[in-house]
Amino acid sequence: MTHPLQTRPLNICMVSDFFYPAMGGVESHLYNNSQCLIQRGHKVIIITHSHGNRRGVRYIAGGLKVYHVPAVIVYSNASLPTFFCTFPIFRQIFIREQIDIVHGHQAFSTFCHEALLHARSMGLKTVFTDHSLLGFADASGILLNKLLKFTLSDVHHAICVSHTSKENTVLRAALDPHQVSVIPNAIIADQFRPDPGARDAAWITVVVLSRLVYRKGIDLLVAAVPHICELCPRVRFIIGGDGPMRINIEQMRERHMLQDRVELLGSVQAADVRSVLVRGDIFLNTSLTEAFCIAIVEAASCGLLVVSTRVGGIPEVLPRYMITFAVPEEDHVVEALLEAVGRVDDRSSHPELAPSHFHSQVKKMYSWQNVAERTEQVYSKIAHLEEPPLIERFRRYYGCGLVAGKLFCLVAAVDFLIGVALAWLWPKERIERARNFDHAKYAAIVAHNRILANAPTSSFQQPDHAAGF
């Protein structure tokens, strides 16, 4: 028998601490995947924490509804863990929007873990997408892996952005590999077209666009730049991004007197990324860990040769002729850059290295519509699953560890009891249902406005009373 969720459009709630106006790969994934799911006929809303004075409900392009829930930010845009305090407002939103599936993103997101826990207490279907890799030896990795195991013990399905990320998540959370799918990130290739005229022919320009933090390998960058500038007088660097390690790059530039060879742009807005990329010949990524890396796909789409450390899921992202790999060590990064400089000088004799060819290949490989379609297949896969009894949920949590298992059972039991109390205090019937956004009307208004904007002034007919003047 066909499950009712498989026969109608779904109401989906994406949840993460990481969303616009903050910038990053998770934010981009949430926005673009949600837009494509809306185009496929589903209702999608996003829950994230407040950003400055951005609180309450906002609508952004395409009628995407965003709930900015007040929260205390503790570190790197992640909110303060509260376990149960978000349950009342999350429950109100889930019921108001008549949510079928709650889809959490990113293991570092407090809102993600709490929303998945509360959704399971309410009997909703849940999906989790992991966007990062984590280790097993450091204290933060051990603690986060235990939390992830707790959350994913009762999630219907998990998604990872690369096969390396899948292996990492399966090991960290002790999951059945059949319950984890691989759906890569994507880009809108038309927004990253090459522009050969933007390059300075007098220089070979290396572009770096990254958050300037330790895990992005900024120490490697700081060590490699002076050597490359010494060995290749025609090479210059454009570095965009901000973070705590920007001071290291500024000190390196001052110490080696490279002000004319190293340009620091600071924070770069999403709308300006292409205009920076098309100025370059080579894109350099020195990350120490990376599950996917959208930045190298954007760079390749703009026609840049890519030099990257061989870490995480990066080897899965681009064909070998588009990218040169390096071991994450200073000497190897310098060697890889020198090889890429030689390929740039010889690029005109190799049609497969032409920027237009890079762009056309990336456009064929990556599409957000494809990501949305594959995500939709995951939703259809879990739609028929029966809701397990509460005792089965406790059994799953109990298996998380000798001590942690008992603690997780206690947390789940308290959350379930809070859900029962909330259902008594605010029954579903007394919660007003939100009106759905009229996408057909919105599309008609947008189309009409475009016609008016493109119409010449002379095409508008004058009123009859002006005919004699």
pLDDT of residue 83: 85
Name the band, by pLDDT with cuts 50, 70 and 90, for residue 6: low
Cite the beta strand spans of 257-336 per DSSP E.
262-266, 282-285, 305-309, 323-326
Give the number of C-alpha atoms closer than 13 A to the C-alpha of residue 168, restricted to the C-beta side: 27
pLDDT of residue 451: 86
pLDDT at 419 over 70: yes
pLDDT of residue 463: 40
Name the band, by pLDDT with cuts 50, 70 and 90, for residue 7: low
Q: Which residue has 């009307």 as its token pair?
A: 441
pLDDT at 458 over 50: no
Averaged pLDDT for residues 372-377? 96
pLDDT of residue 447: 84
Beta carbons of 385 and 125 less than 8 angstroms apart: yes
Q: Which residues contact 399 (CB under 8 A, 6 or more apart)?
A: 153, 405
The pLDDT > 90 percentage for the chain reads 69
Name the band, by pLDDT with cuts 50, 70 and 90, for residue 5: low
Name the band, by pLDDT with cuts 50, 70 and 90, for residue 3: low
Averaged pLDDT for residues 435-462? 72
Beta carbons of 110 and 148 less than 8 angstroms apart: no
**CA torsion angle for 187, 191, 192, 196 (degrees, to 10)?**
170
pLDDT of residue 138: 74
- What is the per-residue pLDDT across 338-363, written as a single tens digit (0 to 9) for each? 999 999 888 777 888 899 999 999 99
Query: CA angle, corner 149, sides to 161 and 76, nearest 5?
Result: 60
Averaged pLDDT for residues 401-428? 93
Name the band, by pLDDT with cuts 50, 70 and 90, for residue 466: very low
pLDDT of residue 323: 95
pLDDT of residue 251: 96
pLDDT at 461 over 50: no
Q: Closest by alpha carbon to 184, among 414, 458, 368, 427? A: 368
The pLDDT > 70 percentage for the chain reads 95
pLDDT of residue 42: 94
Distance CA 76, CA 172 (A): 22
Pairing type for strands 78-79 and 64-69 reads: unpaired
Q: What is the mean pLDDT of the chain?
A: 90
pLDDT of residue 23: 77
pTM higher than 0.75 for the full model?
yes
234 φ, ψ to 5°? -90, 0
Long-range contacts of 440-444 (CB under 8 A, 24+ apart): 442/62, 442/63
Distance CA 375, CA 387 (A): 21
pLDDT of residue 465: 37
- For 156-172, give one letter per residue: b (16+ CB within 10 A) or e: bbbbbbbebbbbbbbeb
pLDDT of residue 229: 94
Name the band, by pLDDT with cuts 50, 70 and 90, for residue 76: confident
Question: What token pair was written down for 84?
Answer: 């149960």
Amino acid at position 81, single letter: P
Choose between 245 and 438: higher pLDDT. Answer: 245
- What is the per-residue pLDDT across 158-184, written as a single tens digit (0 to 9) for each? 999 999 999 999 998 889 999 999 999
Kindly calculate the radius of gyration of the chain based on its CA atoms and give it in whole angstroms. Answer: 25
pLDDT of residue 53: 87
Axis crossing angle, helix 163-173 with helix 139-152, rounded to the nearest 10: 90
pLDDT at 450 over 90: no
Averaged pLDDT for residues 404-420? 94
Name the band, by pLDDT with cuts 50, 70 and 90, for residue 459: very low
Choice among 99-108, 286-295, 450-459 with the minimum mean pLDDT = 450-459
